[in-house]
A = this chain, B = another copy of it.
Amino acid sequence: MAARTVKLAVIPGDGIGPEVVGEGLKVLDAVAAQHDLAFETTEYELGAQRWHRTGETLPESVEAELAQQEAIYLGAVGDPSVPSGVLERGLLLKLRFDFDHYVNLRPVRLYPGVSTPLAGVAPDDIDMLVVREGTEGPYAGAGGVLRKGTANEIATQDSVNTRVGVERLIRYAFAKAAERPRQKLTLVHKDNVLTFAGDLYQRVLKEVGAEYPQVSVDYCHVDAASMFFVNQPGRFDVVVTDNLFGDIITDIGAAITGGIGLAASGNINPDRTFPSMFEPVHGSAPDIAGQGKADPTATVLSAATMLEHLGVPEAARKIENAVAADLKTRGDEERSTSRIGDDLAARVAEQG
């Protein structure tokens, strides 16, 4: 029997979700065996199918069960047959908010062997960590509509930013920056236009920064940062930013490092008051679902982020090494989803 058993909730979700999660679990099992770990998984049917069948996105009883788990592993949710926003606000963002996932952690790293759309960029040039806010800002859901459907209609959308929320995020980002060789932290915001929220971020950055004299601090407007991600990605180490800006720049980050097939993320509650949730950045890609065409790498890498969070960094490194080795030797040959999963599991096993 394993020394430690981790209670893991699995939400395969829609589209390619079940396929990629299946491979992620395969790799997790391979690495668990080597670290005296076991995953006790419970699968939850949540997503488009459940919504169509029952009208539910996240029943209270299910959420209560999820709250008892140690971590959540999610494939992807969403389908064009569901109105935009229903599953996002009712399931994905609800979990992020209710479980206080205030750090949305997204590594942006170009692995050797991966082709980037950028000319003349080498793998060493892109290695950043985006620390995106996950529980407030423009994602708060605040706002409303007046006189809907009339010529006088007004729709508002309010970004809510709290000192508590910004400070805990920025503290986390400084701690991460301090651990990395370059020790650089860049705040991305738009403080010349969004003056209220931007000023709060700037003041907290300065205050918390005083506790980290070894970390060099930089600031970039989101428009400039988006440009620099494309033409000077090397200038970033750790990036801290709000929920919406983080959503945008991490997709640019994915684009420059080989696409969302490789981009991992962790929705993290650093205080561990609720389980954290790990998921690829990509969506459910219904167009290729069930065909064994999806690349499970992003989901596998999200499992590495999970292992890090669970306090087993050596196991996380093994998964990253396996992925790095796999990407380095990828040729033109197309492999199926499960074949990539098998290969990654084997590469993990090799590191025995």
Query: Which residues of chain A have a CB within 8 Å of any CB of chain B?
Result: 84-85, 88-89, 93, 116-120, 138-139, 141-145, 147, 149-164, 190-200, 202-203, 222-224, 226-228, 230-231, 244, 247-252, 254-256, 259-260
Contacts and interface: CB of A to CB of B under 8 A. Distances in A.
Nearest to A121: B117
B156 A196 contact: yes
Contacts of A226: 226, 248-249, 251-252, 255
B156 A161 contact: yes
A197 B155 contact: yes
Contacts of A223: 247-248, 250-251
B84 A139 contact: no
Given A150-B163, A164-B151, A200-B145, A157 B254 contact: no
A88 B89 CA distance: 33
Given A117-B230, A227-B251, A251-B223, A195 B162 contact: no
Contacts of A192: 84-85, 88-89
A159 B156 contact: yes
A154 B137 CA distance: 11
Q: Which of A145, A149, A157, A231 has the most CB of B within 10 A?
A: A157
B159 A159 contact: yes
Contacts of A256: 230
A326 B230 CA distance: 25
